Amino acid sequence: MSKAIVIGAGIAGIASAIRLALKGYQVDVYESNAYPGGKLSEFEQDGFRFDAGPSLFTMPQYVEELFKLAGELPQDYFQYEKLDEVCRYFWDDGTHLTAWADTEKFADEIAAKTTSKREELFAFLAKSKQIYEITNHVFLEKSLHKLATFLNIPTLKSILRLPQIDAFRTMAKANESFFSDKKMVQYANRYATYNGSNPYQAPATLNVIPHLEQHFGAYFPKNGMFDITLSLVRLAERLGIKFHYNSYVEQILVENKETKGIIIHAEKRFADVVVSNMDVYFTYKNLLKDAKQPQQILKQERSSSALIFYWGVKKQFKELGLHNIFFSDDYQKEFNTIFKEKGIDDDPTVYINITSKLKADDAPEGCENWFTMINVPNNIGQDWDTLIAKAKLNIIKKINKNLKVNLDELMVTEAILDPRTIESKSFSYQGSLYGTSSNNQFAAFLRHANFSSKIKNLYFTGGSVHPGGGIPLALLSAKIVGEMIPSTS
Ligand code: FAD
């Protein structure tokens, strides 16, 4: 039986393993942590459960697809619900806006609470849909590095429509043309953060993202985000895949320009195919030290990182929902501070995710589990302890002002995740959340391919390679890898 080794049990590593097992491979997954999921994990503290990383679940069809491929019913493993309410937005001047999943209702909300008109939202979302329809086949679902991708009618049709994807102005410029109210421009610009980019630099092609959320919907896994990981691990184990935890892979074995397996605990483990779910930067720097390094790819700008305060709060807030955003007053200044100065603005946009709103046992009675996050730069050796202490004060000040509380008195437990710990826990270079940034028009073409052009039978999956970061794209990278690797029979 042909053997495959997957390095890393991040969501893309697990999904790649499942696809290879279904192609007839005997698959071993080596994971350096004691648990699966990488960034998509959870922890408990003082009676509160927290999803450690991702909090927004979109495109559940890519998860479901894996169960269906295996001939299983997705609902036997994994349940989730569609959200009626996508996000609650707050501004310091007292404006509150709810983004409803029902677009008509959202348009009414915008007309009632801002100076923008209903039609502005419809035009914005129509453009978003158009970009999705053009880019989906070309940029997301196929390798950009295989000629075959381009030699079919749907792709050729998409290529002819590329001038319509709005690649030659920034998101911020485009959004100023869609919305007359500054608050709505800010709402639209925020989508750049969904892949760690800067709306004042990133091409307006990223306006594809609202279509994913507003058209396909935002969802909540009934047992929390970590259940995405756990349910796929259950499926993988059922398919005979073996997970080896606390197992850091030290080297990828290469002989005569072909991979032969890996070295772990100083021992060789042989395989016909190796898939690396480790960040491509560290795959080259740590596991392929003797290989030719793709310098141009590895030196690209990284996406932003995050600073998260996991707070147990002994109060329940009616004005808050599952997803909440407290916007900064000067968004452009905030992004300049993150991307140009590599610092944290004194007035950061604060995101609070509260899963106990939908999953009551995530917090003790009368309490809430707050996942409080701000966007911060990638780790280039800043004085994080000083930055974090200052950011905490600024975040609390902003929340106190908006919710008219004294948060210090309500906090019963705290844990912190910052770019350094994101880097050390998942081997993500500079603690970036989404691999490389999409701050220029060519970003999609500059990500590493899902295979090595120099080393036979070596593949790459996950948020640091094509098509990019975030759960849906990480799952698509696994799909591309799975479809590229030949079946064993
Ligand atoms: P990872 O999750 O990084 O997993 C890689 C795994 O490989 C890790 O478990 C690591 O330990 C293991 N590994 C690495 N090297 C080795 C080695 N040499 N040997 C053995 N094991 C190794 N996405 C969304 O869709 N929605 C969100 O709301 C969202 N929010 C986020 C918030 C935060 C705070 C973070 C950190 C990320 C967020 N993301 C979000 C991004 C999303 O989590 C990632 O894009 C996705 O989980 C990446 O999955 P992955 O499989 O590529 O890699």
DSSP string, 392-459: HHHHHHHHHHHHTS-HHHHEEEEEEE-HHHHHHHH--GGG-SSSB---STTHHHHSBPSB-SSSBTEE
Q: Mean pLDDT: which of 137-151, 170-184, 442-456 is highest?
A: 170-184
Segment 245-262 shows an average pLDDT of 98
Which residue among 59, 277, 376 has the greatest number of ligand 1 atoms within 8 angstroms of its CB, and so is best to mutate? 277
Residue 464 to residues 138, 213, 302, 350, Cα–Cα distance (Å): 18, 22, 9, 25
pLDDT computed for residue 376 by the predictor? 98
Asked if 3-81+223-299+436-484 and 82-221+302-426 have one fold, the answer is no
Contact call for residues 316 and 325 (beta carbons, < 8 A): no
109-158 per-position pLDDT tens digit: 999 999 999 999 999 999 999 999 988 877 788 777 777 776 677 777 77
Contact 60 CB / ligand 1 (< 6 Å): no
Contact 452 CB / ligand 1 (< 6 Å): no
- What CATH architecture does domain 82-221+302-426 belong to? Alpha-Beta Complex (3.90)
Quote the ligand 1 centre to 30 CA distance (angstroms).
Answer: 15
Q: What is the mean pLDDT of the chain?
A: 95
Residue with tokens 């940029």: 139
The proportion of the chain whose per-residue pLDDT surpasses 90, expressed as a percent, equals: 90
List the single range of 68-77, 85-94, 153-162, 441-450 with lowest mean pLDDT.
Answer: 153-162
Quote the ligand 1 centre to 39 CA distance (angstroms).
Answer: 4
Question: Hey, what CATH topology would domain 3-81+223-299+436-484 get?
Answer: FAD/NAD(P)-binding domain (3.50.50)
pLDDT computed for residue 135 by the predictor? 87
pLDDT computed for residue 124 by the predictor? 98
Residue 50 pLDDT > 80: yes
Quote the ligand 1 centre to 434 CA distance (angstroms).
Answer: 8
Contact 54 CB / ligand 1 (< 6 Å): yes
In which region does residue 24 sit, left (phi positive, over 0), alpha (psi from -120 to 50) or beta (all else)?
Answer: left
Torsions phi, psi for 488 (to 5 deg) = -80, -25
Give the separation between CA 388 and CA 50, rounded to whole angstroms.
Answer: 20
Contact 374 CB / ligand 1 (< 6 Å): no
Residue with tokens 């593949």: 459
Contact 463 CB / ligand 1 (< 6 Å): yes
Contact call for residues 30 and 10 (beta carbons, < 8 A): no
pLDDT computed for residue 278 by the predictor? 98
pLDDT computed for residue 368 by the predictor? 98
278-312 per-position pLDDT tens digit: 999 999 999 999 999 999 889 999 999 999 999 99
Quote the ligand 1 centre to 328 CA distance (angstroms).
Answer: 27
Q: Amino acid identity, residue 219?
A: Y
pLDDT computed for residue 442 by the predictor? 75
The DSSP output letter for 204 is G
pLDDT computed for residue 414 by the predictor? 98
Count the Cβ atoms, other than its own, within 10 Å of residue 312: 22
pLDDT computed for residue 145 by the predictor? 77
pLDDT computed for residue 257 by the predictor? 96
pLDDT computed for residue 68 by the predictor? 98
pLDDT computed for residue 158 by the predictor? 74
pLDDT computed for residue 344 by the predictor? 98
Quote the ligand 1 centre to 40 CA distance (angstroms).
Answer: 6
Domain regions of the chain by residue span: 3-81+223-299+436-484, 82-221+302-426
Instruction: Give which of 405, 422, 310 is closest to 362, Cα–Cα.
Output: 310
Quote the ligand 1 centre to 78 CA distance (angstroms).
Answer: 20
pLDDT computed for residue 99 by the predictor? 98
Segment 434-442 shows an average pLDDT of 86
Contact 423 CB / ligand 1 (< 6 Å): no
Residue 471 pLDDT > 90: yes
Which residue among 226, 375, 426 has the greatest number of ligand 1 atoms within 8 angstroms of its CB, and so is best to mutate? 426
Contact 399 CB / ligand 1 (< 6 Å): no
In which region does residue 184 sit, left (phi positive, over 0), alpha (psi from -120 to 50) or beta (all else)?
Answer: alpha
Torsions phi, psi for 411 (to 5 deg) = -75, 125
Segment 364-385 shows an average pLDDT of 98
301-348 per-position pLDDT tens digit: 999 999 999 999 999 999 999 999 999 999 999 999 999 999 999 999
The DSSP output letter for 202 is S
In angstroms, the first-to-last Cα distance of the chain is: 9
Q: Amino acid identity, residue 406?
A: N
pLDDT computed for residue 154 by the predictor? 76
